[in-house]
A and B are shown apart, each in its own frame.
Chain A
Amino acid sequence: GENVEQHPSTLSVQEGDSAVIKCTYSDSASNYFPWYKQELGKRPQLIIDIRSNVGEKKDQRIAVTLNKTAKHFSLHITETQPEDSAVYFCAASMVGSARQLTFGSGTQLTVLP
């Protein structure tokens, strides 16, 4: 089955700096890669996703890049703000399959004021 590795497990940045979280996956058939944000005590919520037919996707201050050859994808947050502090999870799956979504272990991001 699919295995998703996520690094780092914790990340602290100064407000205004950029943050990068990286994930690798094992199954070359995976073609859907979402990122979820979980604020303290809240439910995880989708913030951005990418499919394997594109290499990069942006939405305001967040972007995701995908390298299919190396089987890794990354989340980039620019101009970080205190409200970006949360746990971020990457995941991998395959469009149209019955295979379940496999999550990484999470990254606790802390944005220091």
Chain B
Amino acid sequence: GAGVSQSPSNKVTEKGKDVELRCDPISGHTALYWYRQSLGQGLEFLIYFQGNSAPDKSGLPSDRFSAERTGGSVSTLTIQRTQQEDSAVYLCASSPHRGAGELFFGEGSRLTVL
């Protein structure tokens, strides 16, 4: 497809388990963002990849969260030892622009930690 693809769309897991969320950005987009959106809340920045530069990890809430972007394309957000407060929609966005320009969001991955 032409848009940003995220998987899984829904994930239910037990507290303490690890989860991986995948983002497939639009081909050719150099910038990739992960945001977290809790129910009824705003967009909480997690991590930003721009080309081959070191990622901006300043938004990751704890060391249980990590992300990588392989080959400048697909990104995986990993949450280790999940907690109930990790329950949220995790949104990925990509952009062809450096620092400014339209972000194209995926549909999100809804994570529920029981």
Contact = CB atoms under 8 A, between A and B. Distances in A.
B48 interface: yes
Contact of B98 (A1, A43, A97): A97
Interface string A1-33: 100000000000000000000000000000110
A43 B108 contact: yes
Nearest to A1: B58
Contact of A100 (B45, B102, B108): B45
Interface residues of A, number: 26
Contact of A99 (B41, B99, B105, B106): B99
Interface string A71-109: 000000000000000000100011111111111111000
Interface residues of B, number: 22
Contacts of A100: 33, 45, 48, 56, 99
B53 interface: yes
Contact of B45 (A46, A94, A102, A105): A102
7 closest Cβ pairs, A-B complex: A32-B100, A97-B99, A100-B48, A43-B105, A95-B100, A105-B42, A106-B42
21 contacts: A31-B100, A32-B100, A32-B101, A43-B91, A43-B107, A44-B103, A46-B103, A89-B42, A94-B99, A95-B100, A96-B99, A96-B100, A97-B99, A98-B99, A99-B56, A99-B99, A101-B99, A101-B100, A103-B42, A105-B42, A106-B43
Interface of B: 33, 35, 41-43, 45, 48, 50, 53, 56, 58, 91, 98-103, 105-108
Interface of A: 1, 31-32, 34, 36, 43-46, 49, 51, 89, 93-106
